[in-house]
Amino acid sequence: MGIFNNLFDIDSKDNYAVTGLNKELNSLYIYNYFIKNKKNNLVITNSLYEANDVYNRLLNYTNKVLFFPMDDFITSEVTDISPEFVIDRLTTLNKLLGSGKYIVVTNLMGILRYLPNTKLYKNKIIDINKDMDIDRDDFINKLFDLGYEKVPVVSRTGEMAIRGYVIDIFPIEFDNPIRIEFWGDTIDSIKYFDLEDQISNTSVDSVKIYPYTEFLIDGKIEDNITRKQKYLLNYSDSVSGLWDYVSDSVIFYYDYNQIINSYSLLRENILEYDSELDDDIKTNYMWNIEDISNKHNIYILDIDNLIDLDVNNKKYVSHSIENYCGNFEKLKLDLIRYIKSGKTVILCVDDRNVVKRIVTYLELDDIIFTDENNIINNKINFVNKYIYGGFIFDNYVVMSVNDLFGKVEDKRKVKSKYKVGTKISNIDNLEKGDLVVHIDHGIGKYIEICTLVKNGMKKDYIKLLYADDDILYLPVEKIDKITKFNGKEGAFFKLDKLGTDSWNKRKARVKKKLESIAADLIKVSILREASSGYAFSHDDENQILFESKFSYVPTSDQLRATEIIKREMERNKPMDMLLCGDVGYGKTEVAFRAIFKAVNDGKQVAYLCPTTILSSQQYKSALNRFIDFPINIALLNRFTSVKEQREILEKLKEGKIDILFGTHKILNEKIDFKDLGLLVIDEEQRFGVVHKEKIKKYKSSIDVLTLSATPIPRTLQMSMSGIRGLALIETPPEKRRPIQTYVIPENKNIIKDAIYKELSREGQVFILYNDIDRLDNKLDEIHKLVPEATIRYAHGRMTKDHLENIMIDFINHEFDILLCTTIIETGIDIPNVNTLIILDADHFGLSQLYQIRGRIGRSDRIGYAYMMYSGKKELNDLAVKRLNTIKEFTELGSGFKIAMRDLSIRGAGDILGSEQSGFIDSIGIDLYLKMLKEEVDKLKGVKIEENDDVLNKPLIEVDTHIDDDYVPDDEIKIEIHEMINSINSIEDINKIKETLSNRFGKVTDDMVIYMHEEWFEKQAKELNITESKQNKNYVEIVLPKDVSAKVDGELLFFSAYEICKQFRFSYIDGKIHIILDIVKLDKHFIFYFNELLDKIIKDIKD
């Protein structure tokens, strides 16, 4: 049996207290009890922080551990909360319904939570099978009662979409959503479908749909019922507690005295909160602690080991390991001492490179490489295992990698049960009131899709509003004429006036500017290709060894980006490469691999950072990453002494420094490298004009790699193809726990609770307040709320050095709370800051909020973001819309994507020059980039299709209406119209028919005709057909002279006769007129015309 399974002599008795163990041993005691007694264990901690800590420690020993996390009381009362905790709780309840035995870890708020009666919960689970008879409407009502939300398109866990007899649902516990098709009231098929393209694939015979809410009651949930857990007892005859789900269990009270003290405070808070609340429904909010019923209890005691209960006390003696922080000399001396005193040492390290490093430094004879089942007494045993912390207990000295090096990140990933799609919930989807850009008429406002009858045919139009309340009806066949207008967030945009040339003048001004930008881009590219640079060697064993020592598994995007950069470095041309990736996506590692490649070839590298703090952080990261290689690294910033600067200058000249990190000081004229081969620039756009000019000089002779955290729009990526190197990291590494986000009215109690909660785990807090003039008052206000906390403020009017000094002090934890404006720097890593409070969140841009929130949750702790708005004032329409989108942040929904869109507009400005923002705003980013691409393509010699199709009139008229019975939602109708608009061939038609049938059911005949009409228009355009006539007896089209001249008349006649005998022809003024009599046709005339035009096009090409 393994050493960790058998540390304690545990009998089957319970109702006793345990004292004297450190945190790791407390968790091991629970684990040992679990494996020796065949019972469920329910562990109750005082706080969520402790619950998370115990849960993570236990995971290192067993996978039979479940988490039941619950927010603090005040935050649990807010309306919009991240869904991850709910899903964690529901997943735990679902697992507990089975027959397995588990350790369940919860906090005080979790154990006191009202839960549905266990029997009711089981009965509410829906089991469905193929060919089962079930009332469709009753089934939909049951899904609603289970907490599933009705939406137009399913894009995340917990949603359902209803389209006639097709029901899509994304049940909890599933990796993919399911599509249920009914035939009457019989389930005809059950299939999984893809979240991105919405196409169903694998069939299944049966599924089990679990509740997506803890609020379950006996009857139907009416609209007037507020689905809050505190009201559960008001609507249910009987409710349960978590202990009812964890049957046959022993309860571990983890630090019992703290739990009791916290419960007293909690009841005081509830009393105070309830007295201020104007609520018609009276509730006790949750269980009383006395209600917890269990015969078997064990009390784990910490600091305060006296307990007011009549139980035996098992007293142990243990010690924690002193943190060595990489001091191998001290570690070696201590290990020798432990072995001499007869102790058995176990070093738990899960990285073979780290093991090699430790063994090399120690140079001891008593080292054994083994596993936890084969520990050798009185030896130094290396075990491939990760644990949080070590201990000295009995005859064992156990050390973790955290004890050896200071805090090391846990590499174990948490797989989120909450799934979110990316493509279908597209930010470019039009919503009523959105601004659009019409390529011919400019900026208008989308009102709705409307249906008009024209010549007896139902046609869908997109209704657009322009200045002076003018209305433009755009036929859906011309939907490609408009794009959603995406300008800078928060800026004001005027609607254009129809019938004037102001829009065309504006477009012409932008076009002229773009011609110049395109020419400059091409010129730079040509100059670079004409000059010669250093061609770096291909990868050797050293490069392979360096890359193998990366502590994490690189993402596929990281590997792809590394390859792109290395291939470019191996060319004998100076590299100008841009590496884009969000914060935390792993750009630094990619840059380090490129740096190693340069140093490995004997070249020097300069790493330029915009701030002192960033240069220091990157320098420290490099020291750690390059530790196993004989590479000399130096740092040059304002904290480098004059003496050290002189030494660095000399060593650079002599080639004794391989990598130099620093701020703009690196660009000083006095800096003279012996053989500089690579310049890495972090966030180039943050440097001033003078520094940018110096950077430009470097770019003509050496390889330059620029890192940017701002995303680049797709169209711009295409324009840059072959002009500037682009490497993109777009997939995030697997995250640990997502940031818990709350959107709430400003509340002093919540601010106080949030700060105390963070301070209790020795963390730090960001408070964002964007009113510089009132920062002093706000600081006093917060100080009164939390007098024990140390607070300082920072804002943009401070000098750069003053600001940096405050940030450095904050990084060094010299104070607890930083009250600041939006100057929280991107790129700075402060793992100890995991609570963010944003005041007046509705005043911030979405991209600002997204980037600011990215400052927290960067360690293994749960991050908390509180987005607060003033509950007293009326919000304007823009603020309401923004606030609703901010709420999306709690579910990683479209808020994230809109933030990305706003950032990508900034990214375009970064590449093309910030002075472009005015031009981008005047016509919208999409049209701007489309026009740029056209100008670049022109200079590259690519043929550009001119847009002379100002008239929106199609050549022939058919029904273009999509009925509400087929798809009720306008957003989806627009998506379908766009799909149909993209048709260019019969293959496209078949593919779209298949897609629509799969997603929405059988495609109507009118929609098939509409698809063929779209293909007809594309074929007519290819043949330059502009003349047509249509009435109730015949349809006539006219081939232009140049096409008529190429057509073999005899072949045309025979081909037409084979397709349909109703075709006839005339030849007038060198043009062929094709006429089809339509009165007695077997099918719609469009099918015959398409077949004939397809034949004409192929014959002309042949």
DSSP string, 572-606: SS--EEEEEE-TTSSHHHHHHHHHHHHHHTT-EEE
Bridge-based pairing of strands 103-107 and 1063-1068 is unpaired
Q: What is the pLDDT of residue 743?
A: 80
pTM of the model: 0.77
Q: What is the pLDDT of residue 76?
A: 78
What is the residue-wise DSSP string for 950-991? -----SS-------TTT---HHHHHHHHHHHHT--SHHHHHH
Inter-CA distances, 568 with 311, 528, 698, 975, Å: 72, 12, 17, 40
- Strands, E assignment, 665-716: 676-682, 703-708
Q: What is the pLDDT of residue 837?
A: 94
Cβ atoms 660, 652 nearer than 8 A:
yes
Query: Angle of helix 328-340 relative to helix 352-362, nearest 10 degrees?
Result: 80
Of the candidates 460, 564, 901, 545, the one whose C-alpha atom is nearest the C-alpha of residue 716 is 901
Residue, of 517 and 635, whose pLDDT is higher: 635
Inter-CA distances, 97 with 121, 245, 247, Å: 9, 7, 9
Which band of pLDDT confidence, cut at 50, 70 and 90, is reported for residue 735? low
Q: What is the pLDDT of residue 420?
A: 63
Backbone angles phi, psi at 640, to 5 degrees: -80, 125
Classified as helix, coil or strand, 448 is: strand
Query: Angle of helix 986-1000 relative to helix 1005-1022, nearest 10 degrees?
Result: 150
Instruction: Find the DSSP H helices in 319-418.
Output: 328-340, 352-362, 401-405
Task: Note the pLDDT tens digit of each residue in 93-102.
Answer: 999 998 899 9
What whole-number distance in Å separates Cα of residue 352 and Cα of residue 545? 13
Which amino acid is residue 1085, in one-letter code?
Answer: F
How many C-beta neighbours within 10 Å does residue 168 have? 20
What whole-number distance in Å separates Cα of residue 248 and Cα of residue 727? 56
Q: Worst-scoring range by mean pLDDT, 37-41, 340-344, 581-585, 1064-1068?
A: 581-585
Q: In what order do the strands lie in the sheet with 186-193?
A: 149-150, 159-163, 166-169, 178-183, 186-193, 200-203
Which band of pLDDT confidence, cut at 50, 70 and 90, is reported for residue 899? low
Residue, of 692 and 739, whose pLDDT is higher: 739
Task: Note the pLDDT tens digit of each residue in 320-332.
Answer: 998 888 788 899 9
What whole-number distance in Å separates Cα of residue 85 and Cα of residue 758? 18
What whole-number distance in Å separates Cα of residue 148 and Cα of residue 124? 13
End-to-end CA gap in the chain: 79
Q: What is the pLDDT of residue 425?
A: 42
Backbone angles phi, psi at 402, to 5 degrees: -70, -35
Cβ atoms 472, 464 nearer than 8 A:
yes
- Token pair belonging to 237: 């005859």
Q: What is the pLDDT of residue 431?
A: 79
Inter-CA distances, 370 with 57, 361, 771, 958, Å: 22, 19, 60, 77
How many C-beta neighbours within 10 Å does residue 682 have? 24
What is the residue-wise DSSP string for 932-956? HHHHHHHHHT-------------SS
Considering 307-316, 880-889, 890-899, 1088-1097, the range whose residues carry the highest mean pLDDT is 1088-1097
Residue, of 901 and 1084, whose pLDDT is higher: 1084
Q: What is the pLDDT of residue 423?
A: 39
Q: What are the structural domains, with CATH classification, of the chain?
A: 3-117+229-316 (3.40.50.300), 126-209 (3.30.2060.10), 322-405 (3.40.50), 531-709 (3.40.50.300), 740-891 (3.40.50.300), 970-1101 (3.90.1150.50)
Cα 830 from chain centroid (whole Å): 20
- Strands, E assignment, 424-515: 435-438, 442-454, 457-465, 471-475, 482-484
Inter-CA distances, 199 with 150, 194, 430, 996, 999, Å: 19, 5, 22, 9, 6
Q: What is the mean pLDDT of the chain?
A: 86
Q: What is the pLDDT of residue 38?
A: 81
Q: Worst-scoring range by mean pLDDT, 216-225, 396-405, 553-562, 855-864?
A: 855-864
Which band of pLDDT confidence, cut at 50, 70 and 90, is reported for residue 351? confident
Residue 679, pLDDT > 90, answer yes
User: Using CA of residue 666, residue 667, residue 673, residue 677, what is the dihedral sign?
Assistant: positive
Residue, of 830 and 1087, whose pLDDT is higher: 1087
How many C-beta neighbours within 10 Å does residue 867 have? 26
What whole-number distance in Å separates Cα of residue 294 and Cα of residue 298? 11
Considering 697-701, 728-732, 924-928, the range whose residues carry the highest mean pLDDT is 924-928
Inter-CA distances, 89 with 95, 107, 569, 785, Å: 10, 12, 50, 32
How many C-beta neighbours within 10 Å does residue 965 have? 10
What whole-number distance in Å separates Cα of residue 69 and Cα of residue 861? 13
Of the candidates 953, 934, 936, 954, the one whose C-alpha atom is nearest the C-alpha of residue 944 is 934
Q: What is the pLDDT of residue 594?
A: 97
What whole-number distance in Å separates Cα of residue 24 and Cα of residue 578? 45
Burial of 458 per CB tally in 10 Å (0-12, 13-18, 19+): middle
Vertex 542 angle, CA 539 and 543, to 5°: 45
Supply the DSSP symbol for 156: B
Cβ atoms 258, 49 nearer than 8 A:
no
Burial of 1005 per CB tally in 10 Å (0-12, 13-18, 19+): exposed
Considering 66-70, 350-354, 475-479, 755-759, the range whose residues carry the highest mean pLDDT is 66-70
What whole-number distance in Å separates Cα of residue 879 and Cα of residue 378? 67
How many C-beta neighbours within 10 Å does residue 351 have? 16
Cα 344 from chain centroid (whole Å): 46
Tokens 């011309």 belong to residue: 478
The arithmetic mean of pLDDT across residues 862-877, rounded, is 76
Q: What is the pLDDT of residue 623?
A: 93
Bridge-based pairing of strands 344-348 and 380-383 is parallel
Length in residues, the chain: 1102
Task: Note the pLDDT tens digit of each residue in 740-758.
Answer: 888 888 888 889 888 988 8
What whole-number distance in Å separates Cα of residue 353 and Cα of residue 368? 16
Task: Note the pLDDT tens digit of each residue in 497-530.
Answer: 998 989 999 999 988 888 888 887 788 777 777 8
Of the candidates 915, 942, 916, 941, the one whose C-alpha atom is nearest the C-alpha of residue 929 is 916
Residue 1018, pLDDT > 80, answer yes
- Token pair belonging to 402: 């955290």
- Token pair belonging to 444: 């208008």
Task: Note the pLDDT tens digit of each residue in 912-969.
Answer: 665 556 677 788 878 887 888 888 888 877 776 665 544 447 889 999 999 888 888 8
Q: What is the pLDDT of residue 669?
A: 81
Q: What is the pLDDT of residue 901?
A: 59
Within 8 A by CB and 6+ apart from 969, the residues are 152, 153
Task: Note the pLDDT tens digit of each residue in 224-253.
Answer: 788 888 989 888 888 999 999 998 899 999
Q: Give 1082's Cβ-side CA count (13 Å radius).
A: 4
How many C-beta neighbours within 10 Å does residue 663 have? 23
The arithmetic mean of pLDDT across residues 1032-1058, rounded, is 92
